[in-house]
Amino acid sequence: MDPPNLDGKAYVYVPCECSINLGVHINGEFCWSIDGKDILKSNNNGDYEKWNRHILLEVLPSLHIKLLNEIVKKDLERFKNSKARPEKFVPYTTKKFFFLGNGKETENKLIDSYRAKVLQSLGNNEVFWTEADGGKFISLKNAYFFEERDHIIADILSKHGIPTVKMDKNKLSYLSEKIKGKKSIKYQTIKFSEILRKNGNILSDIEQDQNDFANIIKLLEFILQDKDDYLYSNLKGLRLVPLKNRSCGTFGECDYYIADKRCQELFSISGPSHFVYDSDELIKIFEQEYFPNLRIKKLDTQGILDLFTEELPNKQKDWDPSSKANPYQQWLGDVFKIMKLGPGLELPNCPLLPIIRPSHKLVNLDSKNPLLINPDNNIPGAFIVDVLVKLGFCFTDIKSRALKRYVQDFNYSNVFNSINQTSQSQDISIKKLFNNAKLDDDDYKKLRKYVKSFIDVVKVPKETILMIIRELPIWPIRSSRKHKFISANDKGILPPYNLSCPLQDTDIFDVQNVYYNVLILLGVEEIEVYKFVKKYYSHGSGKQPTQQDVKFLKEILSLRDERIVSYLASRESIPNKSLKEFVKANTLFDAEVDIIFDDDKLLPLELQNSNVCHSVLLKMGLQRDLNGSTYVKYAHEIQKKINNNDDEIRSRAIKLIECLNVNYNKFSEYERKQLYKIDFIPSKKDLLSPYNKTSITTLGYESFNSLCFTKYQDICWTQTKFIYSDDVELPFDLRPGLKMVINHWIKLSTEVFPHETSGWEADKIYEIMEKIYQVVNDNLNLLDEDKIREFKLKDIKLFLNGDNPFDLDCWVSGKKLVFGLQTNLNGHFNNVHDHLLSFKKLLKTLGAEEVNDIKMDKILINYSQNDHLIQYLIESLQNQNSYHDVIFKIGGHEIYANRCVLSNFAKYFDWHFSEKPKDLIEINDVKHETYKVLLRWLYGMAYEDAVKNVFGEDFSNSGQRYLDFMLELLKVSHKFTHLNHIIQNNIMSKNIINVSNVKKIKEAIYNFNADHLKQCCEEYIEKNEKIIDAKDLCD
C-alpha cells in the first residue's frame, strides 16, 4: 500500500540497549509520545491523523517484528551465558509482549488493530519461549500456550518435547479471545490426542515420571478434556487412575468405581483402593460411555459384592453390633438397602449375615439352612423364639429382598420347614433333634401353643406342614418315663374329651382340652368313655387311690351313664376319704354324717359336695343316717379327748360343728339342751391387745352357752368367750344377752376406760360405747324399772358425756343430763353431748331431763310500713321541703334524715321538729347502730333487712350481743306499737330465752310495754323452776 501524500513530520525513535527517553525500548514495549497518544484520542480524519495511522498500522508492525527478533537474539545469548535451567530462565519477550497487551491500556480500536498487525506479521518468527528441548524460542504456530499459574501441565509436556509456552492470564486471554477466528493469524490450542498420535510413548513416559498425586489428577483432567476414542484406547494399561487412597490404579486392570460419599463411607476398608478419587471434573469424564471399557464404572450391586470379599472376614466370627468397625449393625442395614440382586448376581460366601440369637455372630450365607428374621413381640408366635434357639435356630434382624434366599420371614410355615431342614442338615430325626435340645416343660408348652395357634389361624393347613407337625414330640403322656413326650405319630391314646386321667405309665395323652381338636386333626384316635373306664379304671391290684382318682371319679359319675354306674357299683372303685384304699360305695358313709372319726369310712368331700355325684353314689349304696343322739354322743367323745392331741381333736370338733347346720332340725329339744352344755366348741384363746387385758380366760373349748361370735366382741368381751371363727355356719346366733351387755357396760364405765388408758385410743372408746348404747337402746322393752334398780343404772356414771374419755368428769349418770340445756350447771346438770343425742330414749329412761320450751302464738300483725310510708311520701311531695333537714346526733355520730318522712312518727320518739332549715336532735343512752336500724325501718326497710344492713349477715346468731340490741331497740320504740311487736316476736321465736337470761329479760322489759314477752318469760320460769333454781344456786 502506497503511503498517502500528507503534510507533516515523521519521527523515528532508535532503539538502544541502555535506558533512554526514546519511544521504543529493547524489551519491545512501546511508549507512546504525546503525538502518539493524540492519535488514539483523536476522532478526526484529517491528513495529520491519516498519516499517523498509516505509520502505526503499515510501517511500525514490521519494525516491531525486527525489534523482537533482535531481542530474542539477546535473550538467547543471555540464556547461554547464564547456564540457567530452561524453567528458571525468564526472557524479556515473555515479560513484555506489547502486541498481546498488558492489561493496563485503555481499550482502543487502533491499539487492537496494531496488535493484530503485529501478530499477522509474526509468521515463522520465533519469539515465544518454551522450556521444551532444553529451552528455545518457537513460532506462534508451533507453540502450545498455558497460563503461568497453571504451569504443571506445561512443565510435564515440555519435559517430553511438547513446545509449551507459559503466559500470564491477561495475555493468554487476549490471544485466545480477541484474535480467535482470524484466519490470518495461525494460533493453535493443544489437543492431547494429536500429541499422542505424534508420540505414542508419551503416556507411558508420563506415567513413570509422576510421583505427585495432585499432578496426576491435574494431568489426567487435562488429558481427558480431549474426547477422542484414539486417546481413550491408549489409556488401557496405564497406571493413571487416581484413587481414593491417593494411589493410582491401572486403566483396564481391574474394576474401579465411581461412588457417592455414602458408599465411600460404607466401604472404608476395601473402598479406598477401588474408588475413583473425588474430582468433579474427572467424575464427569469417567461417567462417559467409553470408560466402562476401561473398567471404570458407577458402583452397582456387583461392585458391592466384589468389595465384600475384602471388607468382610472370610470366616464366621463373633460380632458386636454396637461397634463402629465394619461390619456393624447400621453398616449391614445400609449396604443391603442399596443392593439390587437379580439373576446372575450371587452373594459371596463370606460371613455376611448377622445373628442376634442365640449370640451375636456373623455367619456365611447358606440357602439350605436360611436364617429367620427375629420377630417383634406383636408378631404371632413370637413367644416361641427362645425354644427355637434351643433347637439350633439362628435369628437375624436384617430385612432385605436381597437376602430372601438366605433370610426368611418369621411365620408358621417357615418355622416348621426350618425344623425339618435343621434335622436333615444334621442328619438326625426330629425326635433326636428335640432330645438333644434339652427342652423343659415350659418349652413344650410353648411348642404346643404355637402348633394350636397355627391351626387356629390357617384352618386348613397344607399336608406337607402337617407331616412335619406330626413328627414333633411335644405331647405329654401319663408316664413316669424320663422322656414323657411323644409325637402324634407314636400311636398314643387320646382319652375322652374333658375327662382327666388318673393313670400313670401308659401311652395316654395328658393334654388340656384345648388341644383335643389339634390331635384329632393330626390323626390321633379318641377312645369312648365307657370303654376307657373298663379298660383303664381297674383297681384289683391293691393300688392306693390318689386325689386324681377322686377327680376322675367325679367326672365320670357326673355323666350319669348307667353302664358306668353299674360297672363301678359292683367293684371296689370308690376312694375313701383317707385315700387309703378303694372300696365299694355301700361301705361308705355320706359326708352329712361326718361325725365319724374314722375317715376310712367316709366319702371324700369332692364327691359329697357334687350334687350329681352324691345322687349317683346314693343309688350305688352310699349310707346316710344321722340323728341327735348320735351327734351328742360324738360331742361328748370330743370333750373327753380334749388335751390328748389338740390339733386332731380341734379338727374333728370343727368338722362336727360344720355338719350341725344340716342336721339341727332333726334334734329334739332335750338333745339340743344337752348339746348347748357340752364343752366341745373350740374357742379363741387370745384376743388382740388391748382387749386381752380385760378378757375372760378360756381353756380352748367351751359350750355354746358360754360363747359368742367375735363380731359382738366390743359389747361383751369382759363377760364371755368367743367361738374359734365367725365363718362357721350355725343354725342359731351366738350373741350376748342384754344382761351380759349391761354388766360389760358397767365394767367398762367404772373399771376400764376411766382408769386404764394403756393401749386404748379415744376414737375406739367412743366407737365401743356407742355400740353398747345402741344395743341397750334397741332393747329397752326388756329393761323394766326392776332391772334398772337391780343394776343401779340411774346412779352409775355410764355415759361418756365429753370429748376426753380419760377424764373422770366426762363420765356422768343419766340423771345428771338435760337435753336442751345451753350451759352446764356444774355439780347439778350437764347438757347432753353430741355423741349421746341419738340415744335420747335410753338417756331419758335412765333419768335424763329435758328443758321444756314454751311455744306462744305470735301477736297478729296486720300492718305494712311500706304502704304507710309510700302514702305519706306521696302526700309530702306537694310540700317544698329541703333535702336532709334533720340531723340526729348520737354520741360522736351524726345521722341525716328528712323531716317529711319522719314527722309522722315523731310523737312516738319525742322528736321535736321546727321550721328551721335544719333541726339537730341529740339522742342519749342509745348506740348509734340501734338508731340506724330504727331509721331504716321507718323509711320502709323490712326489720330483718335493716338489721343485716347495719350489723351484717350473721348478727342475729350472735347470742347475747343480738339480745342486747333488741332490748335497746325495744326501749327506744316501746311507744311505737308495730315495731314493739316485731321485736317481741323476734326475741320469742329465735330461742334466745334460756335458763341463764330469762330473769334478766323479764326485768329489762318491765317498762317497755312488752306484755307478751313478759308472759313468755314467766311461763318459762315456771316450767323450768328446778333447773333455774339450781343455776341460781351455782351463781
* Tens of pLDDT, residues 626-670: 678 778 888 888 888 887 667 778 888 888 888 888 778 888 999
Kindly state the cell numbers that stand for 279.
Answer: 474430582
Residue-wise DSSP of 807-828: -GGGEE-GGGEEET-SS-BTTT
Grid coordinates representing 541?
391290684
pLDDT band at 28 (very low <50, low <70, confident <90, very high): very low
Cα(564)–Cα(555) distance, rounded to whole angstroms?
12
Give helix 977-989 / helix 1011-1023 axis angle, nearest 10°: 20
The pLDDT confidence band at residue 121, using thresholds 50, 70 and 90, is confident
Domain assignments of the chain as residue spans, ordered by start: 34-190, 313-449, 537-625, 627-735, 737-851, 866-1034
Q: Per-residue pLDDT for 13 more than 70?
A: no
Q: Where is pLDDT greater, at 222 or 242?
A: 242
Q: Which long-range contacts (CB under 8 A, 24 or more apart) does 528-531 make?
A: 528/496, 529/496, 529/499, 529/556, 529/559, 529/561, 529/564, 530/561, 530/563, 530/564, 530/567
pLDDT of residue 296: 86
For residue 925, report the phi and psi dihedrals to the nearest 5 degrees: 65, 25
DSSP string computed for 697-743? P--SEE-GGGEE-GGGGGGTTTT-EEBS-TTS--SS-----HHHHHH
Burial of 480 (0-12, 13-18, 19+ CB in 10 A): exposed
Task: Please give the average per-residue pLDDT across 550-571, as a whole number.
Answer: 89
342 vs 291, higher pLDDT: 291
Pick the range with the lowest mean pLDDT from 50-54, 534-538, 655-659, 975-979.
Answer: 534-538
pLDDT for 6 beyond 60 = no
Is the per-residue pLDDT at 437 higher than 80? yes
Whose CA is closest to 469, among 543, 513, 521?
521
Give the list of residues 6+ apart from residue 110 with CB closer than 8 angstroms, or none.
39, 40, 53, 56, 57
pLDDT in tens, 469-491: 999 999 988 776 666 888 989 88
Q: Which of 907, 912, 916 is nearest to 888 (CA)?
A: 912
Instruction: Provide the grid cell at 369.
Output: 439352612
Reported as a pLDDT band with limits 50, 70 and 90, residue 539 is low
Q: What is the pLDDT of residue 104?
A: 52
Average pLDDT over all residues of the chain: 81
pLDDT for the residue 316: 64
* Alpha helix segments (H runs only) across 57-201: 60-82, 92-95, 109-122, 151-159, 169-173, 192-198
Number of residues written out for the chain: 1035
Q: What is the predicted pLDDT for the residue at 1007?
A: 84
pLDDT of residue 877: 40
Average pLDDT over residues 726-740: 92
Q: pLDDT tens, 302-353?
A: 777 777 777 776 666 666 766 666 666 677 777 777 777 666 566 666 676 7
Report the alpha-carbon distance of residue 972 to residue 358 in Å, rounded: 105
Judged by average pLDDT, the poorest of 215-229, 713-727, 988-1002 is: 215-229
pLDDT band at 720 (very low <50, low <70, confident <90, very high): very high
Q: What is the pLDDT of residues 814-859, one digit of tens each?
A: 999 999 888 888 778 899 999 999 999 999 999 999 888 788 888 8
The percent of residues above 90 in pLDDT, for the chain, comes to 18
pLDDT exceeds cutoff 60 at 594? no
The CA distance from 854 to 866, in Å, is 32
Asked if residues 821 and 760 have their Cβ atoms less than 8 Å apart, the reply is no
Q: What is the distance between the alpha carbons of residues 869 and 266, in angstroms, rounded to a whole number?
A: 105
How many angstroms from the chain centroid is the CA of residue 666?
65
More confidently predicted of 341 and 417: 417
Which numeric CATH code is attached to 866-1034? 3.30.710.10
Mean pLDDT comparison of 41-50, 141-150, 838-847, 1002-1011, highest-scoring range? 838-847
Q: What is the DSSP string of 460-495?
A: S--HHHHHHHHT---EEBS--SS--EE-GGG--BBP
Alpha helices of 514-571 — where are they, by DSSP H?
Answer: 516-521, 529-536, 547-557, 562-569
* Element at 670 (helix H, strand E): helix 669-677
> What does the DSSP assignment read for 405-463?
TTEE---HHHHHHHHHHHHHHTTS-HHHHHHHHT--HHHHHHHHHHHHHHHHHHSS--H
CA atoms within 13 A on the CB side of 717: 22
Range with the lowest mean pLDDT among 202-216, 228-242, 739-753?
Answer: 202-216
Task: Provide the pLDDT for residue 379.
Answer: 87
Whole-number Å distance between alpha carbons of 356 and 362:
9
> What is the model's pLDDT at position 670?
92
What's the pLDDT at 19? 40
The reported pLDDT for the residue numbered 17 is 40
Q: Is residue 8 scored above 70 in pLDDT?
A: no
Does this model's pTM top 0.85?
Answer: no
pLDDT confidence tier of residue 676, bands split at 50, 70 and 90: very high
Q: Which helix (H) or strand (E) holds 1026?
A: helix 1025-1034
CA distance 124 to 120: 10
Choose between 941 and 679: higher pLDDT.
Answer: 679
Q: Are strands 817-819 and 830-831 parallel, antiparallel or unpaired?
A: parallel
